[in-house]
């Protein structure tokens, strides 16, 4: 070993401070739901590296596939050669959704895949404008910053951003201006019978005042809002949006970067409402941690994308493709999508019990293993004033007890809980115990 390898590790200040830090664990390895630091301390990772490690950390099957492929070929560039893992993965992903016929384009990061979806939509429709939902997060490249309205930190200070992007309201029922605010009672299509959020009125107003429908190429939507606060829309929302977009010739892009690959208890979240998007964006859980992303799109749309108009050096990297194939095998053989639904229901029940009587927890919500607690100041304003300070304290208390959690929401007023899909019933119980103790320690009292 060289002298250099024996030197003490450098301090963290060599890393660009632009990385906002959720914690300071110096991790050495991971297994399943756990991260293990250099001192050997085990951390229950209910962040999943922001929704990436659906098969758990370093799943042996995925690790073996990566090692085997790395020994054969590290890079087989898409414009130059075909390779077996790539061909097999394109084929498998083209059959992962009902309907179709589907084709696949692969890239490296979620933002890059969103960019591909937008370029394809503009090219295929010959229309210019894109509609987004307020609170959405789609990435941090120039185009995806322009699509992102989750928090000003993601886009502020970077103007000018690409134009021809218009936003409309997501059905954030808990924050509807006046009661009732119940998104779960089904009503007439497009409305929540028991909610006043009126997203469809906002949609109509957007198309009446900001942009003409016939100039809109696509609307991009997170089926469950991620960074925006883990917001589950009413069950009528997506089917109604599909109907509206189809009637207007607007393409529907489902950004399933965070919701995909079993996270919500279905392979993709659109499947909860049997909605067929025109383009589906995927990343994160696709390859258990290797950088891979892409879009699944209708073949007739893909046919309009002339060769050379999009691409990239690393898209569909052969090692990442091998990791993705092994990931899909593990999801299927270990029935992890069903486990996400079962463990998610267990966790949601547990969170509701823990939250009962704690007025500072305004909302408990989630679907599958995408769960959230929204914190408020119950004695201020209308009782729903966002409370990011309490969120910070609870996350810090959970970390003291070796449970890793993340925040979300425009004000960071939400704790999101993102366990890996391999998590066990015993781990969920352990996490619930820690969350309950952390709430007590952070002064989130009952009564």
Ligand X SMILES: Cc1ncc(COP(=O)(O)O)c(C=O)c1O
Footprint of ligand X (CB under 6 A): 50, 109-111, 114, 137-139, 222, 226-227, 255, 257-258, 283
Element (H, E) at 377: strand 370-377
Based on CB atoms, which residue is closest to ligand X, 213 or 414? 414
Residues contacting residue 183 through CB under 8 Å, at least 6 positions apart = 171, 173, 192, 194, 195, 197, 232, 233, 234
Instruction: Closer to ligand X by CB, 213 or 267: give it.
Output: 267
Helix count (H) and strand count (E) of the chain? 13, 18
Q: Which residues contact 411 (CB under 8 A, 6 or more apart)?
A: 386, 388
Longest dimension (CA), the chain: 70
Cβ 260 to ligand X shortest distance, Å: 9
Nearest distance from C-beta of residue 120 to ligand X, angstroms:
16
User: Are residues 364 and 372 in contact, defined by beta-carbon separation less than 8 angstroms?
Assistant: yes
Residue nearest to ligand X (CB): 110
**DSSP sequence for 23-87:** ----EEEEEBTEEEETT--EEEESSHHHHT-TT-BT-HHHHHHHHHHHTT-S---TTT---HHHH
CB closer to ligand X, 295 vs 326? 295
Residue 310 and residue 345: Cα distance in Å, rounded?
41
User: Which residues on neighbouring strands pair with residue 181, listed in sequence order?
Assistant: 195
Nearer to ligand X, 116 or 399 (CB): 116
> Edge-to-edge strands of the sheet including 102-107?
102-107, 293-298, 279-282, 251-255, 216-221, 129-133, 165-168
Least distance in Å: CB of 308 to ligand X?
Answer: 23
- If the CB atoms of residues 195 and 257 are measured against ligand X, the closer one turns out to be 257
User: Smallest gap, in angstroms, from Cβ of residue 109 to ligand X?
Assistant: 4
Instruction: Give first-to-last CA distance, the chain, whole Å.
Output: 61
- Residue nearer to ligand X on the CB measure, 113 or 432: 113
Shortest Cβ distance from residue 2 to ligand X (Å)?
A: 34
**Closer to ligand X at the Cβ: 295 or 391?**
295
Packing angle of the helix pair 425-441, 388-400 (nearest 10 deg) = 120
Using the minimum distance from each CB to ligand X, give the nearer residue, 255 or 397.
255
- Give the C-alpha separation, 189 to 207, whole Å: 19
By beta-carbon proximity to ligand X, the closer residue of 255 and 427 is 255
Order of strands, sheet of 27-31, starting from the edge strand that comes earlier in the sequence: 27-31, 34-37, 42-45, 403-404
Write down the least CB distance from residue 284 to ligand X, Å: 7
CB of 194 to ligand X, least distance (A): 27
CB of 261 to ligand X, least distance (A): 13
* Count of positions (residues) in the chain: 447
Q: Which residue has the tokens 């021809």?
A: 164
**Hey, is 106 helix, strand or coil?**
strand
CB of 293 to ligand X, least distance (A): 6
């Amino acid at each position: 070993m060289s002298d250099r390898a024996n030197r003490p590790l450098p301090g963290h200040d060599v890393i660009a401070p632009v990385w906002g830090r959720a914690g300071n664990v110096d991790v050495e390895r991971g297994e399943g739901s756990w991260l293990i630091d250099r001192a050997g301390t085990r951390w229950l990772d209910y962040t999943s590296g922001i929704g990436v490690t659906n098969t758990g950390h370093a799943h042996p099957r995925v690790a073996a596939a990566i090692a085997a492929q790395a020994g054969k070929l590290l890079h087989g560039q898409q414009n130059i050669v075909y390779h077996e893992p790539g061909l097999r993965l394109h084929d498998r992903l083209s059959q992962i959704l009902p309907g179709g016929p589907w084709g696949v384009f692969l890239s490296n990061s979620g933002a890059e895949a969103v960019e591909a979806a937008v370029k394809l939509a503009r090219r295929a429709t010959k229309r210019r404008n894109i509609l987004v939902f307020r609170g959405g997060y789609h990435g941090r490249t120039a185009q995806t910053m322009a699509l992102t309205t989750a928090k000003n930190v993601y886009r502020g200070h970077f103007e000018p951003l690409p134009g021809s992007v218009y936003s409309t309201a997501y059905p954030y029922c808990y924050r509807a201006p006046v009661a009732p605010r119940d998104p779960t009672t089904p009503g007439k299509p497009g409305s929540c019978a028991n909610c006043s959020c009126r997203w469809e009125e906002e949609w109509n107003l957007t198309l009446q005042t900001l942009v003409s429908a016939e100039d809109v190429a696509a609307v991009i939507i997170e089926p469950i809002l991620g960074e925006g606060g883990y917001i589950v829309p009413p069950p009528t929302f997506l089917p109604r949006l599909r109907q509206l977009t189809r009637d207007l010739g607007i393409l529907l892009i489902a950004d399933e970067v965070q919701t995909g690959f079993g996270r919500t208890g279905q392979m993709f979240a659109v499947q909860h409402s049997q909605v067929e998007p025109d383009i589906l964006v995927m990343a994160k859980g696709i390859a258990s941690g290797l950088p891979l992303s892409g879009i699944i799109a209708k073949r007739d749309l893909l046919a309009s994308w002339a060769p050379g108009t999009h691409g990239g050096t690393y898209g569909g990297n052969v090692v990442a493709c091998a990791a993705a194939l092994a990931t899909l095998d593990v999801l299927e053989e270990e029935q992890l999508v069903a486990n996400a639904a079962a463990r998610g229901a267990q966790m949601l029940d547990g969170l509701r019990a823990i939250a009962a009587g704690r007025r500072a927890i305004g909302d408990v919500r989630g679907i599958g293993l995408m769960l959230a607690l929204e914190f408020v100041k119950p004695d201020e304003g209308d009782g729903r004033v966002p409370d990011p300070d309490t969120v910070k304290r609870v996350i810090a208390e959970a970390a003291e007890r070796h449970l890793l959690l993340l925040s979300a929401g425009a004000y960071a007023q939400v704790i999101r809980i993102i366990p890996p899909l391999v998590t066990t019933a015993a781990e969920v119980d352990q996490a619930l115990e820690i969350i309950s103790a952390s709430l007590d320690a952070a002064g989130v009292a009952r009564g």
